[in-house]
């Protein structure tokens, strides 16, 4: 909990009040310098995690870990819990609330520091939805309907919700709202970011330059698409109906060991790293690498003489050791919902102020609601 303690000390210096309970903190945005609307764009990274379930190791190694590294290097990290995106499929309202707090606890446990970064829930900043509408007016239906994730779901369902079609536009709004130049994501999001870049170009062509063209940041160690443990042709996903397909950040050592033991490999007992021809075994090698900071050839060398069944025990032990401390922190934080809500509320206040500045410029560029934008900006700066 050292990082939260540091955050609280930091908050104490820059905010008015901290509750007597040391976990409760009233962050303030009053002293925050709202980024300039013109001139160079802020050194900012933005990304989102859907509260469609507890986070898994694909979310962690693919995105969350990178976010924390960027934060620690001095980047301005904005991490949001994408509850509006989650609504593209039905979510039980009380499960959604729980999942939001689960994701918040895991993000903090992974090292997101609310004194340096902004952690918030997407729906608490209505400007996301507003900018989504404005960008939707620049997007073509044919382009959206052509995106692979939409086509895949449209194939399997007779009635596809409009939300699913608009999802990538909302994603573009999430990024542009904060004028982020870089977006840490897994490989499944690349096409959505290409759409975002296209929308930026259309916007600039019609209304003038307001945004940086966002670049995706993929993890460099091969985990931009960790595979499902049960079907290595698919990526590991929160929404996969088989819970054994993913390892959650909150799984116990016993559960991790069981899931790794049940991971689908093939009938060759030798451990090799051949992602194309032996994706299940390569996935195990990758997990070993991620847990122990190894290169694939080093992991394969360590596995020399072991069968894949014996190697699974090595991988499981390595994962338990790597994830254990983070799980303990996440569980400790999850037991403090008021603290989590305070952090999210404070994050949303900061995010709203930044979003207001961007929308002020967008309104002015589009010729919308003369005068109202000025009032909004004044409110953001007060
Ligand atoms: P869902 O099944 O509900 O879509 P998900 O597991 O895909 O959940 P998201 O919340 O949609 O998780 O994605 C959050 C971030 O994690 C995105 O940037 C996404 O690219 C990344 N991500 C998701 N799954 C993986 C994975 N298997 N490997 C690497 N990165 C991943
Ligand atoms: Mg996803």
pLDDT digit string (tens) for 261-289? 999 999 999 999 999 999 999 999 999 99
pLDDT in tens, 306-319: 999 999 999 999 99
Ligand 1 probe mutation, 57, 58, 167, most atoms within 8 A of CB: 58
Q: Give the C-alpha separation, 194 to 190, whole Å.
A: 6
Asked if 326 and 109 count as a contact pair (C-beta separation under 8 A), the reply is yes
pLDDT at 370: 67
CA–chain centroid gap for 317, Å, is: 27
pLDDT in tens, 89-138: 999 999 999 999 999 999 999 999 999 999 999 999 999 999 999 999 99
Ligand nearest to the backbone CA of 239: 1
pLDDT at 276: 94
pLDDT at 16: 29
pLDDT at 374: 55
Query: How confident is the model over 202-209, as a mean pLDDT?
Result: 96
Residues with CB under 6 A from ligand 1: 47, 49-50, 52, 58-59, 62-63, 185-186, 188-189, 223-226, 235-239
> What DSSP string runs through 171-188?
HHHHHHTTT-SEEE--GG
Angle at 180 between CA 199 and CA 236, to 5 degrees: 85
Question: 15 pLDDT exceeds 50?
Answer: no
Buried b (16+ CB within 10 A) or exposed e, 135-168: bbebbeeeebeebeebeebeeeeeebeeebbbbb
Say how many residues make up the chain.
Answer: 382
CA–chain centroid gap for 237, Å, is: 13
Question: 193 pLDDT exceeds 60?
Answer: yes
pLDDT at 371: 60
Q: For ligand 1, atom 6, name the residue with the nearest CA.
A: 237
Ligand nearest to the backbone CA of 187: 1
Question: 25 pLDDT exceeds 50?
Answer: no
Strands 25-26 and 17-18: antiparallel
Q: Tell me the CA–centroid distance for residue 86 and ligand 2, in Å.
A: 9
Ligand nearest to the backbone CA of 237: 1
Q: Tell me the CA–centroid distance for residue 83 and ligand 1, in Å.
A: 14
Q: What is the number of the ligand 1 atom nearest to the C-alpha of 53? A: 3
Q: Give the C-alpha separation, 229 to 284, whole Å.
A: 9
Q: Tell me the CA–centroid distance for residue 237 and ligand 1, in Å.
A: 6
pLDDT in tens, 64-92: 999 999 999 999 999 999 999 999 999 99
The pLDDT-based confidence of 376 (bands split at 50, 70, 90) is low
Q: What is the number of the ligand 1 atom nearest to the C-alpha of 52? A: 3
pTM of the model: 0.89
Question: 31 pLDDT exceeds 90?
Answer: no
pLDDT at 136: 98
Q: For ligand 1, atom 18, name the residue with the nearest CA.
A: 185
Q: For ligand 1, atom 21, name the residue with the nearest CA.
A: 186
Q: What are the CA-CA distances from residue 34 to residues 213, 377, 382 (Å)?
A: 21, 10, 10
């Amino acid at each position: 909990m050292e990082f939260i303690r540091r955050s609280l000390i930091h908050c104490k210096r820059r905010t008015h009040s901290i509750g007597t309970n040391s976990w409760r903190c009233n962050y303030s945005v009053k002293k925050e310098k709202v980024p300039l609307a013109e001139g160079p764009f802020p050194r900012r990274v933005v990304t989102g995690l859907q509260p469609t379930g507890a986070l898994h190791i694909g979310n962690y190694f693919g995105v969350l870990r990178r976010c924390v590294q960027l934060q620690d290097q001095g980047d301005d990290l904005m991490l949001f819990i994408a509850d509006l995106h989650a609504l593209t499929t039905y979510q039980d309202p009380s499960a959604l609330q729980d999942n939001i707090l689960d994701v918040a606890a895991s993000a903090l446990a992974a090292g997101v520091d609310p004194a340096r970064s902004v952690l918030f829930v997407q729906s608490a900043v209505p400007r996301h939805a507003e900018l989504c509408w404005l960008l939707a007016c620049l997007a073509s239906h044919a382009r959206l309907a052509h995106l692979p994730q939409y086509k895949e779901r449209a194939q399997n369902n007779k009635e596809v919700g409009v939300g699913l079609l608009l999802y990538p536009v909302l994603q573009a709004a999430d990024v542009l709202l904060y004028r982020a130049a870089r977006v840490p994501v897994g490989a499944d999001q690349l096409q959505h970011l290409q759409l975002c870049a296209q929308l930026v170009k259309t916007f600039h062509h019609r209304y003038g330059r307001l945004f940086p063209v966002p670049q995706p940041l993929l993890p460099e160690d091969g985990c931009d698409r960790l595979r499902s443990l049960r079907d290595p042709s698919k990526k590991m996903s929160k929404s996969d109906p088989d819970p054994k397909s993913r390892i959650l950040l909150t799984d116990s050592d016993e559960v991790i060991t069981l899931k790794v033991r049940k991971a689908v490999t093939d009938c060759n007992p030798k451990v090799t790293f051949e992602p194309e021809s032996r994706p299940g075994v390569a996935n195990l090698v990758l997990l070993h690498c991620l847990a122990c900071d190894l290169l694939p050839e080093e992991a394969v060398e360590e596995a020399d003489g072991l069968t894949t069944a014996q190697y699974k025990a090595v991988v499981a032990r390595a994962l338990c050791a790597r994830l254990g401390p983070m799980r303990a922190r996440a569980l400790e934080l999850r037991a403090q919902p008021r603290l989590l809500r305070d952090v999210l509320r404070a994050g949303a206040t900061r995010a709203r102020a930044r979003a207001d500045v961007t929308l002020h410029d967008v309104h002015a560029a589009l010729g919308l609601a003369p005068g109202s934008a000025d009032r909004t900006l004044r409110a953001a700066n007060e």
